[in-house]
Chains A and B, each alone.
Chain A
Amino acid sequence: MSQSIQNEIQMKQSSTARHIGKSVQRVDAPNKVTGKAIYAMDIQPNHLLHVKLLTSPVAHARLIEVDIEKARQMEGVEVIITYDDVPDTRRGQFILDQPILASEKLRYIGEPIAAVAAETPELAEEAVNAIKIKYEELPAIFDLEEAFSKEPHAIVHDDIQSYQFAKQGDPRFEKRDHVETEYENRPNLMYSDTLNVGDVDTAFNKADYIIEGRYEVKALQHCSMEPHVAVGQRGPTGITIWTSQQVPHNIKTELCMAYPDLLPGELEIKSPYVGGGFGGKITPFIESILVGILRKTLRPVRFQLTRAEEYTVGVSRPQVIVNVRDGITKNGKIIARDSRILFNVGAYNEQVFRCTISGPSVTIGSYDIPNARYTSCAVYTNLPKYAAFRGFGKPEVNWAMERNMDKGAKKVGLDPVEYRRINLLRSGDTNAKGEVLGNVDTEACLIESSERIKSIDVKNEYPKYDTDEWKIGIGIAYGNKPVSRASAAATVKIQKDMNVIAYIGAPEIGQGAETVLTQIIAEDFDIGLKKIRIIAGDTSNSPYDRGPTGSRFTYHTGNAVRKAIVDVKEKIFGLAAGEFGEGIEPIDLRTSDGKIIVKGRKDKWIHINDLFSTYGQMTGVSNTMLKEGGELIGTATYDSRKGGKHHAFWTPVGQSAIVAVNQITGRVEILKIVTAIDIGCALNPKNVEQQIEGATGQGIASAIYEEIIYDKGFVTNPNFKDYRIPRTMEMPYESETIIIETKDEMGPYGARGVGEMGMIASAPAIGNAITDALSIEFDTIPITPERIIDALDKNN
């Protein structure tokens, strides 16, 4: 890469920018407000078959027989597949534990046993009802702590020792158990990760106080408004699947592992606009079944989960139990922290492995704690499967950390903000993992959010709540969220009149990906926004991208696009220098609105079209073919795994809330919530606000509203009537975002990721506010009216 062009790109400041840092209209918005936006749900080839599943009615059993003979004869039935019709493989990330369809064992209520494809969903359902199964029930285990014990009354995977591992290229990921002594020999332990820095036990002995607690986060559902849906079709070269998925490239990789004879060239995955993901659309649990059906019919097939199946066949956010001990001095310095974290995997591992390794980072990432230990465990139960949910375990673990922080502040008599401030990790500090915190203003996030909340004159602003019935409380919380290292690639192609197409592996899932990339491309070429088209989420057209997960998209794919632009500019300037002659070198050139201009000489330029061929083109200048043959294509990969850092970057966030709690009904109203975030550079400030307001909303949902209720492994509220997603009246209109911009050293224009950040500290801010209002400690979320009334009753 030409150093001078690279420097030119890095030096450009957003203050002088034409598009960066401006709240330009979202490029997807016109399609989305007119009904023109196409989602996987809207794809409907002719002569579609519809899929329905036979799922396990029991939580744990030995499967003896699946009899499909009667169903096979029924009207409209095209294909029925069972375990016998698909490869004898196991799928999963890290550990390969999950068959495509249940084989010898059933491990949760909802586990797919057989799939029917028929002329209509109704006929498919009738055939499903005609399939007969025989099974022998086994004892099942649901309680997370009991499942974790050394002698649980049931073992979910009794043959786990024979399971293979997905190759991760890291020795840590090639065995399950990394913790000696007390954590050994736990039959339901899927994975454990640990850290032990300093001398934790000695530090606890030296501490003036030990603050400890057991904190619990109940399971919740992603509830993407577009359910999981995939439509597949066989063509001359293989299978095409349109699916509502966040990471199409990984879906393809996993499917090719599950079907070893399926060549990569025979499968393409397309994710058009995705109707919400939030971590629930990362693994191919419906696509792996769809491929099995597509291999038995020439007709196109549609497989959509019902809303109820989203809670059972689909994945949810795990239940998490955290035990934490903080050893602190009289003047409020934390000298030791010990955390034990249990993640409920459910019956098979979809994404909880990743939560288990990344969730604990918030135990050591926010504050300067010299002696720190954690053990993070993923534990199988006979419950439906769990997965990542906006934050990969970190919001769940941070609930415990930030509740315990408030208890510590109370013990030493410090204001909760001051207690956090004196322990805060700042730019340049090294955390317990030995990682140096980059260029961020952590203190501004903590202080600015709490000062904004404290500036509110609650009595005058919210007079309605100035009664005996309501109690007002204020809570603050803080979090520093790391973003894992990953790679992303991009390809850009220049066409006539400086029209640019960018091919991106990650789909637009609502986060504003297309808009931010459009701004970056327009800025770097100095052209108008309308010149740019993004082709996203298609494995055949686009290079690899780890996808919009874990707040990594803008940083990684943004950088990949910038590198691809440098690559194509080298080609443009090389060709243009030849056109100019007169000793003008590529280094002397710049682009602006389709012109290639000699720097410092506005009058000396050629047009980009001067590089394209007219020879033999009856239709004028070629759209893409160059005079000398070939096309103007730039491609590049950005890989943050190089450079020895544990994480690509950390984004700090402070959140504060004012709540009113009704002592008669137990109802909580959030009057105002304020988020202060150091985003590095807000490429599109309104887009940043969108992400913060949305994630904060989901944090609120997790804090006081949503919980999946199980009865012996059976989900009792798998619908929007009984599982209450907060509505307009239940969400605060007053959700403010304070944007702080301390430029990241490596991010595009200094930007860091934002997607998950509103979820990191919102639940503990609310929990701390409710505790402040009632002077009762709440350690389990959601803090529902029932839990509040129970606590008030106990307190009296």
Chain B
Amino acid sequence: MSGMKLDINNKIYTVNVSPYKSLRDVLRYDIGLTGTKESCDSGVCGVCTVLLEKGAVKSCLIPVGKVIGEKITTIEGLEIDGELSKMQQAFIDCFASQCGYCIPGFIMAATSLLEENNKPTIQEIREGLSGNLCRCTGYVKIIDAVKKAAESEI
């Protein structure tokens, strides 16, 4: 489909691709926003998580034609004017990243979680992040980071 307009991180991008192509592949390979990762190809691991207005979605499962006109936020869109989001800062402060490949997806899912529940318990964080996989961390410090972001004032 020619001239599809996508609203990503408050910028308009025009792409000429099939509307059935996954949002993830369009982000990574047509627009060059490679912070959104690919791993399992089946909506299980969550490394490709991005935000739509309705909340976090796994972009490998979303045909790009479905999100025309929607506001899409990727990991690259969280840092505004050189200022990290409080979730990004908490992930740094709490040593939540190791290889870091799953981290953009976790940050997007956790950002969405706090939008729905701004004072989650540890148990609610664990439940809220159960759609994302990490192989390095054992999750302990990821959960710490989300807790810290929820408690921070910014």
Contact = CB atoms under 8 A, between A and B. Distances in A.
B99, B130, B131, B136, most chain A CB atoms within 10 A: B99
A589 B154 CA distance: 47
Given A278-B135, A693-B141, A34 B79 contact: yes
Given A35-B75, A729-B127, A223 B135 contact: yes
A41 B38 contact: yes
A224 B135 CA distance: 6
B38 A26 contact: no
A273 B75 CA distance: 17
B42 A34 contact: no
Given A41-B38, A693-B141, A35 B91 contact: no
Contacts of A274: 99
Interface in B124-154: 125-127, 129-143
Interface in B67-96: 74-76, 78-79, 84, 88-89, 91-93, 95
A225 B132 CA distance: 11
Contact of B130 (A39, A225, A510, A727): A727
Interface in A291-322: 306-307
B40 A720 contact: yes
A39 B34 CA distance: 9
A29 B142 CA distance: 13
Given A226-B101, A690-B98, A720-B40, A33 B139 contact: no
Nearest to B88: A33
B99 A225 contact: yes
Nearest to A275: B101
Interface in A231-257: none
B12 interface: no
Contacts of A450: none
Given A35-B33, A693-B141, A273 B95 contact: no
Contact of A35 (B36, B42, B95, B132): B36
A720 B45 contact: yes
B107 interface: yes
Contacts of B99: 224-226, 273-277, 509-510
B136 A696 contact: no
A225 B122 CA distance: 24
A245 to B, nearest CB: 13
A512 interface: yes
Contacts of B38: 41
A306 B34 CA distance: 18
A733 B101 contact: no
A interface secondary structure, majority = loop
B92 A25 contact: yes
A226 B134 CA distance: 11
B98 to A, nearest CB: 4
Interface in A694-723: 694, 696-698, 700, 719-721
A23 interface: yes
B92, B98, B137, most chain A CB atoms within 10 A: B98
B35 interface: yes
B37 A226 contact: yes
Contacts of A227: 39
B136 A276 contact: yes
Given A44-B29, A276-B99, A35 B137 contact: no
Contacts of B101: 39, 224-226, 275-276
B137 A225 contact: no
Given A25-B92, A694-B98, A32 B34 contact: no
Nearest to B28: A42
Contact of A33 (B74, B103, B138): B103
B91 A29 contact: yes
B115 to A, nearest CB: 18
A31, A33, A38, A306, most chain B CB atoms within 10 A: A33
Interface size class of A (residues with CB under 8 A): 35 or more
B135 A689 contact: no
Nearest to A673: B138
Contacts of A37: 100
Interface in A41-58: 41-42, 44
Contacts of A696: 138
A34 B84 contact: yes
B45 A225 contact: yes
Interface in B91-126: 91-93, 95, 97-104, 107, 122, 125-126
A25 B138 CA distance: 19
Interface in B30-72: 32-42, 44-45, 47
Interface string A196-234: 000000000000000000000000001111110000000
Contact of B93 (A25, A275, A689): A25
B76 A719 contact: no
B37 A697 contact: no
A511 B39 CA distance: 20
Given A42-B34, A307-B42, A733-B139, A687 B95 contact: yes
A671 interface: no
A693 B41 contact: no
A692 B5 CA distance: 46
Contact of A306 (B41, B132, B133, B142): B41
Interface string B3-36: 0000000000000000000000000110011111
Contacts of A622: none
Contacts of B45: 225, 720
A276 B91 CA distance: 18
Interface in A657-703: 686-687, 689-690, 693-694, 696-698, 700
A130 interface: no
A654 to B, nearest CB: 18
A324 to B, nearest CB: 29
Contacts of B74: 35
Interface in A503-527: 509-512
Contacts of B100: 28-29, 31-33, 37, 273, 275, 510
A729 B139 CA distance: 10
Given A41-B37, A223-B135, A224-B135, A33 B84 contact: yes
A36 B91 CA distance: 15
B39, B89, B138, most chain A CB atoms within 10 A: B138
B133 A725 contact: yes
A25, A224, A511, A690, most chain B CB atoms within 10 A: A690
A510 B34 contact: no
Contacts of A34: 35, 75-76, 78-79, 84, 88
Contacts of B40: 307, 719-720
A698 B137 CA distance: 9
A260 interface: no
A728 interface: yes
A33 B141 CA distance: 14
A121 B129 CA distance: 32
Given A33-B107, A35-B34, A226-B99, A693 B39 contact: no
B58 to A, nearest CB: 12
Given A44-B29, A275-B99, A727 B133 contact: yes
15 contacts: A29-B91, A30-B92, A33-B84, A34-B76, A224-B99, A224-B101, A225-B102, A693-B140, A698-B138, A727-B131, A728-B132, A729-B126, A729-B127, A733-B122, A733-B139
Instruction: Across the A-B interface, give the 6 residue pairs with the lowest CB-CB distance, nearest first.
Output: A35-B35, A697-B138, A510-B99, A32-B100, A275-B101, A35-B75
Given A44-B32, A226-B37, A733-B140, 17 more contacts: A28-B97, A32-B100, A33-B75, A35-B104, A36-B35, A38-B34, A224-B99, A224-B135, A225-B37, A226-B99, A307-B42, A512-B98, A689-B95, A693-B137, A728-B126, A731-B138, A735-B140
